[in-house]
């Protein structure tokens, strides 16, 4: 459930006392989250090696 739909202070998902079906749903949500994270990370890392990337992004001053 999106936060945008959760403004009525209903209890958040992920708490205790879940039924079997609820746990399955939570597992499925967690799997989708991690799969989406892996996909986004792999796409982001595809174009440059980390050492070169960090060198290119060096901050020269700031604040």
Partner 1 sequence: MVRPMFGVESEYAVAGLAGREPMRRDDLVNRFVRAANRSLAHLPDMGSSAGMFLENGARFYIDCGLHPEMTTPECTTPWELARYIKAGERILQGLAEEVQAGAGAATEIMCFRCNVDYSGSGSTWGCHESYLHRANPASLPEQLIPHLVTRAIYTGAGGFNPLVNWPEFAVAPRLLHIQHAISSDSTGNRGIFHTKNESLSGDGYNRLHILCGESLCSETAIVLKTGATALVAAMAEEGLRPGAGLRLASPIEALHAVSTDVTCKQKLCLAGGGEATAIEIQRRLLHLAECHRGVLPPWTDAVCGLWRLTLDQLEGAPDSVSTVLDWAIKHKLFHHRAERRGIPMERFAFLGSIVRRLNAALAAVGVKSRGVRLSTLLAPGNPIPEEMAGSGSALAAEGLSWDHLDRFLSLRDEFYQIDTRFGQIGPRGIFAGMDRRGVLDHGVPAVDGVEAALRQPPAAGRARLRGEAIRRLSGQRPGACSWMSVSGPDGRTLDLSDPFADAEVWRDPPAPPAGEDAPPEMLLADSLDDAGRLHQMLDAMRRRYGRSRSRAQGPSATTEGPNR
Distance CA 35, CA 44 (A): 14
In angstroms, give the least distance from the CB of 18 to partner 1.
Answer: 10
What single-letter DSSP state applies at residue 48? Answer: S
Q: Does 23 bind partner 1 (CB under 8 A)?
A: no
In angstroms, give the least distance from the CB of 22 to partner 1.
Answer: 12
In angstroms, give the least distance from the CB of 62 to partner 1.
Answer: 5
The position carrying tokens 């440059």 is 48
Is there a contact between 57 and 49 (Cβ–Cβ < 8 Å)? no
Binding site for partner 1 (CB under 8 A): 1-4, 6-7, 9, 11-16, 29, 32-34, 36-41, 43-45, 47-63
């Amino acid at each position: 459930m999106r936060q945008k739909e959760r403004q009525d202070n209903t209890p958040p998902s992920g708490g205790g006392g879940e039924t079997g079906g609820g746990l399955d749903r939570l597992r499925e949500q967690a799997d989708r989250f991690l799969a989406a994270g892996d996909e986004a990370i792999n796409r982001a890392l595809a174009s440059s090696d980390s050492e070169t990337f960090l060198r290119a992004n060096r901050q020269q001053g700031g604040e």
